[in-house]
């Protein structure tokens, strides 16, 4: 991350659901309180998410800039289909997130007739 207002958080759980989402949300709020505005979440260990994660993304969007990386294809699909990729930046790998160079999801669609 490029500046001192950024924080990298590694998610160790294999799923994010209603059992652990409050801890994640409180962690992000504590980081914001301590001056961190850019939160980078390493999702490498996460195999599944439920609706509580989507709610977390929506709530957090109002607080901080969320950046996700190392997502599996199922989670990527969920974020894209639900259009939650608009709330966060998604990167392929940590190096891309650190450099903030290559978000892998961009919503630029054009209709071709």
Nearest alpha carbon to residue 45 among 24, 79, 71: 71
Cβ–Cβ < 8 Å for 57, 89:
no
pLDDT of residue 3: 54
Global pTM reads 0.82
Segments of the chain with pLDDT less than 50: 1-2, 101-113
pLDDT of residue 54: 95
Domain residue extents for the chain = 6-99
CATH architecture observed for domain 6-99: 2-Layer Sandwich (3.30)
């Amino acid at each position: 991350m490029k500046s001192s207002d950024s924080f990298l958080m590694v998610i160790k759980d294999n799923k994010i659901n209603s059992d652990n989402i409050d801890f994640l949300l409180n962690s992000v709020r504590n980081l914001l309180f301590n001056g961190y505005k850019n939160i980078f979440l390493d999702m490498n260990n996460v195999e599944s998410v439920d609706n509580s994660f989507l709610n977390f993304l929506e709530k957090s969007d109002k607080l901080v800039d969320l950046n996700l990386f190392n997502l599996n294809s199922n989670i990527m699909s969920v974020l894209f289909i639900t259009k939650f990729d608009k709330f966060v930046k998604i990167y392929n790998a940590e190096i891309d997130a650190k450099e903030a160079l290559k978000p892998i999801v961009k919503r630029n669609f054009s209709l071709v007739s």
